[in-house]
Amino acid sequence: MKNRWIALYVENQVGVLAKVSGLFSGKSYNLQSLTVGTTEDETVSRMTICVASDDITFEQIKKQLNRMVEVIKVIDLTNVPLHMKEILFAKVLHCSTAEKEEVFQIAQVFDVQVADIGKDGVLLECKLTERRNNELIVLLKSRFKQIEVVRGGAVAIESISTSCR
Amino acid sequence: MDITGRKLFVRALLEEGVDTIFGYPGGMVTDVMDELYKQDEIRLVLPRHEQALIHEAEGYAKATGKVGVCLVTSGPGATNTITGLADAHYDNIPLVCFTGQVPLSLIGNDAFQEVDIVGMTRSITKYGVTVRDRKDLGKIIKMAFHIARTGKPGPVLIDLPKDIQTQSGDGRYPDTVNIRGYKPNEGVHVGQLKKAYKLLKAAHRPLILAGGGVLLGRAQKELQEFVEKMKVPVVTTIMGKGAIPAKHPYYIGNSGMHGRYAANIAVSECDVLFSIGTRFNDRITGDLNEFAPNAKIVHIDIDTAAISRNVVVDVPIVADAKLALEKLNEWAEPKNTKGWLEQIRVWDQENPLEMRRDRGMTPQMILEAINAEFDACVITTDVGQHQMWATQYLEFGGEKQFITSGGLGTMGFGFPAALGAKIGRPDLPVICITGDGGFQMNMQEMATAITEDAPVIICLFNNQYLGMVRQMQQLFYGKRYEATCLRRRRTCPANCKGKSEACPPYLPDFMQFAKAYGAHGIRVEREEEIAAALKEARAHADAPTVIEFMISSDELVLPMVQGGTPMSKMILK
């Protein structure tokens, strides 16, 4: 079992997301994350999907996606150079002035923006790799009383000449 | 010129060559029904229940090779078709099912008879869509027929809101359709096929496994030619029955859970298993680790997703069965398989497929009499013991066609499927082999049989039990016959272990049932009466005949492989 990535071009129509996600639940595939948005062609949506699976199951997943009428193209991103980022908002709550200072330092080290601030809270806006976002959450959890996070799932696109995943 | 959606609906059906549809009225399809009233090119068959309706469309599609068309109303009309959609999806039957829907403005309001039928059936249809814009109606119907009948066929659902039916719009029906995400495989990879052929050529104990894909691809002739040229023995799956004539010298029989002994041993012992159009489901493979353990496996299938899903294969080939076999026949040369064929013959003699002949009338006797009486015909079955006996003892091939619910295993399928087949092929005798359990699931269709003039022959195997489950209880559950005795009443003892003198009478009386509808009824209790009953039923052209065969409750389907165990470990007695 390891994480694998798929870029999926689908018809931008009602019910397609439900059909794709339904495949994963119906066939007990282990869906890790799924993001979707329209592309430069508004009739087409592009999904970035992460699944945890063995080789045989992954082959089957790609075939099952391919046979859907609404699926236009399946691209296996697992072993190709690409750029992959995930948006994450992390709110640190109930912090003292000293703790706020520490949040700023962390923001600097992780190279993320401070998007909002108040009397006892700081909001970080992060656009990092998934792994880096995970590390940031672990760190914030260990250092502060209460945090609140929302993350968008990774989006990925094939590289031109450099890569980052 | 602009026309209403309901008019375009009828125009589209005519353009698609539809001459028969299976429809049940309701509030949300009254408009299109009204349009059907105004024409007489399309025949509307009115069943008595939507589940039966869709099985009728399945039987019709299988028997004629055309797309089966259903028309039902929203809500319960639509949900009643779900079992049939799943059945057709599993057995790859081309259907287009139109469901009425509440007007677009009411969708999501919990309106009367509103359900999200597209959402409910997403995983059991090849494609499903709600028409949300009148201008898309023609394109969507065109797509539906194209998707249903091409590639690996299957059911397509079109949800038709009431206002789409009444709105005016473009009256043209497109000639062609281009779907960017749907390109069924049309070629053959010659390199892979050559590799497969070489493997088969070099084999010492080669075996062909033919599945339903051979029949779906109408490749029976090509398969027979290949088999004869190469001199390689063949086993079939249940859905593949008829892929090669039953009496063919190279045909061994069915493999699988209730397959022929020699067929299953041959699968276990072969060194190359050359499979065409099968999905290797659990009823064929048994314990996957022990399946064809000595064999290199070739798998030809039109569906990429069917390949290397259950069984990891050595040579995968995505292709239509007919195209692949045509190519193979260009190369095919005879092999020396004498010793191997002889070995299989010895296995078959060791454990032939046979029921005891000293206990009165057996299913084997009935099925052999059917073989003898009918040449060109369509035979449908329900699901259970009678179905497995039918797959074991009935002989198919040529003009004899077999229609059974193989994948989903739908009780209640047989009788309506037979009616659909008869409506599509009135020139052929149509025989439904059913059990007393399955028949009762859709026997209201006797009305349809009479009103639609579909005089089928119903061979009802009455053993007074839900026999297949009873068999499992008898063999593996200490004869605790929970919920399988159809004579059981509340007055019966809780821990009943089988039939006795004190049992309450069986119901219903199927002879009186037949009479109530103006059908014929014949009850057969002895072997000597079988042939005459079949002849009499065949002579009844005015109405269906129910032949009730009173068979023993204890009869088992043997051989049997218990689920999840190796195919070579068969229970024989």
What ipTM goes with this model?
Answer: 0.92
- pLDDT of A48 reads 97
Classify strands A44-53 and A2-11 as parallel, antiparallel or unpaired: antiparallel
- Contacts of residue B344, defined as CB under 8 A and 6 or more positions apart, other chains included, come to B233, B252, B262, B265, B266
Q: Could you tell me if residue B513 is inside a domain? A: yes
Q: Are residues B458 and B402 in the same domain?
A: yes
What are the pLDDT digits (tens) for A89-116? 999 999 999 999 999 999 999 999 999 9
Catalytic residue among B50, B269, B373, B555: B50
Closest residue in A to B302 (Cα) is A67
Q: Are residues B120 and B225 in the same domain?
A: no
Using an 8 Å Cβ cutoff, are B523 and B548 in contact? Answer: yes
Q: Are residues B338 and B389 in the same domain?
A: no
- What's CA A114's distance to the chain center, in Å? 20
Q: Which of A15, A23, A63 sits opposite B304 (nearest CB)?
A: A63
Count, residues in chain B: 573
Task: Tell me which of A25, A39, A63 to substitute to probe the interface with B (most B C-beta atoms closer than 10 Å).
Answer: A63
What architecture does CATH give domain A82-158? 2-Layer Sandwich (3.30)
Cβ of A69 within 8 Å of Cβ of B312? The answer is no
Q: Please list the rounded mean pLDDT of every run of 10 residues in chain B (573 residues).
A: 96 98 98 97 98 98 98 98 98 98 97 98 98 98 98 97 98 96 90 97 98 96 98 97 95 96 97 96 91 96 91 94 97 96 97 91 97 97 98 93 97 98 98 98 98 98 97 94 95 88 95 98 98 98 98 95 89 89
- pLDDT of B398 reads 83
Between CA A103 and CA A148 the distance in angstroms is 14
Cβ of A14 within 8 Å of Cβ of B312? The answer is no
Q: What are phi and psi of B312, to 5 degrees?
A: -75, 125
The CATH number of the structural domain formed by A2-76 is: 3.30.70.260
Q: Are residues B298 and B373 in the same domain?
A: no
Q: Are residues B344 and B372 in the same domain?
A: no
Kindly report whether the global pTM for this prediction surpasses the value 0.80: yes
Using an 8 Å Cβ cutoff, are B418 and B458 in contact? Answer: yes
Q: What are the structure tokens assigned to B501, written together?
A: 């003198």
- CATH number of residue B459's parent domain: 3.40.50.970
B428 lies in which domain range?
Answer: 363-464+506-550
Q: Are residues B218 and B335 in the same domain?
A: yes
Q: Which element (helix H / strand E) includes B97?
A: strand B95-101
What are the pLDDT digits (tens) for A18-35? 999 999 999 999 999 999
Between CA B150 and CA B161 the distance in angstroms is 26
- pLDDT of B495 reads 87
- pLDDT of B321 reads 96
For chain B, the first-to-last Cα distance in angstroms comes to 71
Classify strands B430-435 and B20-23 as parallel, antiparallel or unpaired: unpaired
Instruction: With CA atoms as reference, report the closest residue to B243 among B268, B288, B277, B280.
Output: B277
B 248-307 → A contacts, CB under 8 A: 303-305, 307
Q: Could you tell me if residue B60 is inside a domain? A: yes
Chain B within 8 Å of A25 (Cβ-Cβ)? no
The ranges of chain A annotated as CATH 3.30.70.1150 are: 82-158
Q: Could you tell me if residue B567 is inside a domain? A: no
Q: Could you tell me if residue B493 is inside a domain? A: no
Q: Are residues B345 and B387 in the same domain?
A: no
Q: Which element (helix H / strand E) includes B300?
A: strand B296-301
Q: Are residues B95 and B219 in the same domain?
A: no
Between CA B273 and CA B185 the distance in angstroms is 23
Using an 8 Å Cβ cutoff, are B121 and B82 in contact? Answer: yes
| DSSP count for chain B of H helices, then E strands | 23, 20
Q: What is the DSSP string of B311-358?
A: S--SEEEE--HHHHHHHHHHH------HHHHHHHHHHHHHS-S---SS
Please say if B113 is a catalytic residue.
yes
Chain A within 8 Å of B178 (Cβ-Cβ)? no
Q: For residue A45, which residues of chain B lie inside 8 Å, CB to CB? A: none
Q: What are the structure tokens assigned to A107, written together?
A: 């923001």
Q: Which of B122, B130, B303 sits opposite A22 (nearest CB)?
A: B122
CA atoms lying within 13 Å on the CB side of residue B507:
4
The ranges of chain A annotated as CATH 3.30.70.260 are: 2-76
Please say if B50 is a catalytic residue.
yes
Using an 8 Å Cβ cutoff, are B182 and B121 in contact? Answer: no
For residue A52, give the amino acid letter.
A
Q: Which of B123, B127, B309 sits opposite A60 (nearest CB)?
A: B309
Q: Are residues B337 and B398 in the same domain?
A: no
Q: Are residues B522 and B378 in the same domain?
A: yes
Between CA B418 and CA B63 the distance in angstroms is 9
Q: Could you tell me if residue B140 is inside a domain? A: yes
Cβ of A67 within 8 Å of Cβ of B180? The answer is no
Average pLDDT of chain A to the nearest whole number: 96
Please say if B388 is a catalytic residue.
no
Cβ of B308 within 8 Å of Cβ of A14? The answer is no
Cβ of A69 within 8 Å of Cβ of B147? The answer is yes
Q: Are residues B155 and B204 in the same domain?
A: no
Q: Are residues B198 and B146 in the same domain?
A: no
Instruction: With CA atoms as reference, report the closest residue to B211 among B344, B57, B406, B379.
Output: B406
Please say if B112 is a catalytic residue.
yes
Catalytic residue among B7, B15, B66, B113: B113
- Contacts of residue A38, defined as CB under 8 A and 6 or more positions apart, other chains included, come to A12, A44, A45, A46
**What is the count of structural domains for chain B?**
3
- pLDDT of A125 reads 98
- CATH number of residue B292's parent domain: 3.40.50.1220
On the question of pLDDT at A61 being above 90, the answer is yes
Q: What are phi and psi of B223, to 5 degrees?
A: -65, -45
- pLDDT of B359 reads 84
Q: For residue B118, which residues of chain A lie inside 8 Å, CB to CB? A: 15
Which DSSP symbol is given to B503?
A: P
Burial class (CB in 10 A: 0-12, 13-18, 19+), B377: buried
A to B CB pairs, distance under 8 Å: 43
- pLDDT of B421 reads 98
- pLDDT of B573 reads 83
Q: What are the structure tokens assigned to B230, written together?
A: 């190469």
